[in-house]
Chains A and B, each alone.
Chain A
Amino acid sequence: MSSDPSSDPSGARQSAPQSAPSRDTSSPAIELRGAGKAFRTPSGALHTAVRDLDLTVGRGEFVAVVGPTGCGKSTTLTLVSGLEEPTEGEVLVAGEAVRGINPDVGFVFQQDAVFPWRTVLSNVMAGPRFRGVARAEARERARDWLARVGLTAFADRYPHQLSGGQRKRVALAATFVNDPDILLMDEPFSALDVQTRALMSDELLDLWAGTGSSVVFVTHDLEESIALADKVVVMTAGPATVKEVFTIDLPRPRKVEEVRLQPRFVEIYREIWSSLGEEVRITRERGAGHAA
């Protein structure tokens, strides 16, 4: 954790605006340079999850990462968040090497990670409270975000009393309430039904539009990634590395259900699928090989 105040990027932004171009504003939001991660398996062998990752996410950019299941997408996010350290290469956030958890990063997990013993309001208050914000102010900010995700009426419920979509909204509010510069999302909507997923995607775009934060959105759903992102990163079959990066030139603001029907969307889809499909096939064949 960066307890050193001089390394605080927001401090740097104010103290050195006119001297040497501040690293803070000129550097991209996220930069991976040859980053790799190997886990030690219980048997003691090394298992490479990701390797040679080179990736740049600009400020305010919405980047979607697609790749076959198990290729290493989640691992990539944990490297950026600081939950795990890379075993190779470098991971930079706002020009600084990641060391521990960065307070400017928000993370929406694939599985439910709301605290089941806290009410909805208390869950959204958790972030500010953990960061030492006074209770009254935390409550006010939490109520504001609950209103934005449409859960005001559910403030006093416990998570088990909500639907899956509502729980995801709680997770979104709990993440946005901390005002993250960088938003990492790990297949956040994969557990939801199709209609709810489209609805949540639109809501996410609305919420994001107001913040100017940079987003890395991991998914295995290619349609979702094109509908949401400025840039789609295709990863190879595991151990993953970046295979290709596609720029999505669809105009914003977008509505995911409508954008899907545009001819340009279909064109882009076909183009990316020709790249991704191959990796998916490789993964599938490997799976079949294991099963055999």
Chain B
Amino acid sequence: MPPELVSPAVRTRAAKTGAADRTKARARAVRHRTLLVYGSRLAVLALVLGLWEWFARTGVIDPFNFSMPSKIWDQIKQWTLHGTAQGPLGEQIWYTLYEALFGWIIGVVAGVVLGIALGRVRFLADVFGPYVKVLNALPRIVLAPIFLIWFGLGPASKVASAVVLVFFPVFFNAFQGAREVDRNLVANARILGASNRRVTFQVVIPAATSWIFTSLHVSFGFALIGAIVGEYIGATKGIGLLVSASQGTFNAAGVYAAMVILAVVALVAEGLLTFLEKRLFRWKPAQPGTNR
């Protein structure tokens, strides 16, 4: 009912329905905006892929070097249906994931434990601080070839490179988190009767978890990099090996296909972490603008 047709006698009702209408209109506007954002995202993707395909087919860019989306898609399909030269695709993904996950867990545990310990115990921080700084200054990715020599072609060398990449960001965040715990909370816990150990486990660690979680997101990406680079240098299985094997046969589509697979794996892992974080941080106020 258009508002101009409402008689004055039902004005209050009209005002009410008017308010309801406005709420609805607002909800509709939000929905529209969401649709628009998703639509535009899809359009950008389609445009980039389309241009890529078109340029490659018309020879504007060299399809041998740059490949094209359709070829990459064919490559993924072929790997999925008929397996790769090194075995089934699932196995390659599993190997990389396994190395990354294993290295990530070791790196995270070591980083959190040492970060909290150095953050809590001044003496340890004073002794080990300079060494940590020096090690952090090294470009750690160059350790991958050394690990290959030490631990061989198997998963151990990849796990090791993942560990060194994961350790430092986690360590620094845990250290910072332990340092920046609200002094009031620590004082309160001590007054309430908490021993030093209890303060560490029941105040410092819970307070540092949001710091630590920030680094977990980034560091899983690092673990994947560590595993992939390790595999790329020398391996018998894994996505990194797919990349180097494709490169060796001048199969550009293979390299891109491996990258796409890797991106999907990383996104899924990120999603899992976010889910876990939401469960763990129920005590936190919701961020403004998000529903809970």
- Decide yes or no whether B187 CB sits under 8 A from chain A: yes
- Decide yes or no whether A126 CB sits under 8 A from chain B: yes
Residues A115 and B187 in contact, CB atoms below 8 Å apart: no
Residues B284 and A83 in contact, CB atoms below 8 Å apart: no
The distance from the CB of A182 to the nearest CB of chain B, in whole angstroms, is 11
For B184, B192, B195, B209, the residue with the greatest tally of chain A CB atoms inside 10 Å of its CB is B192
* A interface, over-half SS: loop
Select B185's contact among A103, A105, A113, beta carbons within 8 Å. Answer: A113
Residues A158 and B206 in contact, CB atoms below 8 Å apart: no
The 0/1 profile, CB within 8 Å of A marked 1, for residues 273-292 of chain B is 00000000011110000000
Residues A107 and B188 in contact, CB atoms below 8 Å apart: yes
- Given A115-B185, A130-B198, A83-B190 contact (CB < 8 Å): yes
Residues A111 and B184 in contact, CB atoms below 8 Å apart: yes
- Decide yes or no whether A101 CB sits under 8 A from chain B: yes
Residues A115 and B203 in contact, CB atoms below 8 Å apart: yes
Q: Which residues of B contact A103 (CB under 8 A)?
A: 193
How many interface contacts (CB-CB < 8 Å) are there between A and B? 62
- Given A103-B193, A160-B284, A113-B187 contact (CB < 8 Å): yes
Residues A109 and B193 in contact, CB atoms below 8 Å apart: no
Q: Which residues of A contact B191 (CB under 8 A)?
A: 81, 83, 101, 105-107
For B193, B195, B285, the residue with the greatest tally of chain A CB atoms inside 10 Å of its CB is B193
The distance from the CB of B134 to the nearest CB of chain A, in whole angstroms, is 27
Q: Which residues of B contact A113 (CB under 8 A)?
A: 182, 184-185, 187-188
Q: Which residues of B contact A107 (CB under 8 A)?
A: 187-188, 191
- Given A83-B187, A115-B203, A130-B189, A160-B283 contact (CB < 8 Å): yes
Residues B192 and A158 in contact, CB atoms below 8 Å apart: no
- Decide yes or no whether A127 CB sits under 8 A from chain B: yes
- Decide yes or no whether A252 CB sits under 8 A from chain B: no
Select B285's contact among A81, A109, A160, A175, beta carbons within 8 Å. Answer: A160
- Decide yes or no whether B93 CB sits under 8 A from chain A: no
- Given A111-B184, A113-B185, A118-B190 contact (CB < 8 Å): no
Please measure, in the bound complex, the distance between the C-alpha atom of A115 and the C-alpha atom of B191, giving whole angstroms: 13
For B187, B207, B282, the residue with the greatest tally of chain A CB atoms inside 10 Å of its CB is B187
Please measure, in the bound complex, the distance between the C-alpha atom of A160 and the C-alpha atom of B284, giving whole angstroms: 7
Please name the residue on chain B nearest to A78 by beta carbon: B187
Please name the residue on chain B nearest to A105 by beta carbon: B191
Please measure, in the bound complex, the distance between the C-alpha atom of A119 and the C-alpha atom of B282, giving whole angstroms: 10
- Given A115-B206, A116-B283, A126-B187 contact (CB < 8 Å): no
Select B188's contact among A109, A117, A158, A160, beta carbons within 8 Å. Answer: A109
The distance from the CB of A224 to the nearest CB of chain B, in whole angstroms, is 22
The distance from the CB of A271 to the nearest CB of chain B, in whole angstroms, is 34
Please name the residue on chain B nearest to A112 by beta carbon: B184
- Decide yes or no whether B14 CB sits under 8 A from chain A: no
Which residues in window 138-177 of B have CB below 8 A to A? none
Please measure, in the bound complex, the distance between the C-alpha atom of A111 and the C-alpha atom of B186, giving whole angstroms: 13
Please measure, in the bound complex, the distance between the C-alpha atom of A114 and the C-alpha atom of B182, giving whole angstroms: 11
For A103, A114, A117, A158, the residue with the greatest tally of chain B CB atoms inside 10 Å of its CB is A117
The distance from the CB of A81 to the nearest CB of chain B, in whole angstroms, is 6
Select A126's contact among B184, B192, B285, beta carbons within 8 Å. Answer: B192
- Decide yes or no whether B61 CB sits under 8 A from chain A: no
Chain A interface (Cβ < 8 Å from any Cβ of B) = 81, 83, 101, 103, 105-107, 109, 111-119, 126-127, 130-131, 158-160, 174-175, 178
- 28 A–B pairs (Cβ distance < 8 Å), ordered by A: A83-B190, A83-B191, A105-B191, A106-B191, A107-B188, A109-B187, A109-B188, A112-B184, A113-B182, A115-B185, A115-B188, A117-B206, A117-B209, A117-B283, A118-B283, A126-B189, A126-B192, A127-B192, A130-B189, A130-B193, A130-B194, A130-B198, A131-B193, A158-B283, A159-B283, A160-B283, A160-B284, A160-B285
Chain B interface (Cβ < 8 Å from any Cβ of A) = 182, 184-185, 187-195, 198, 202-203, 206-207, 209, 282-285
Known: A113-B187, A130-B192. 8 other contacts (CB 8 A): A81-B191, A109-B187, A115-B206, A116-B283, A159-B283, A160-B284, A174-B192, A178-B192
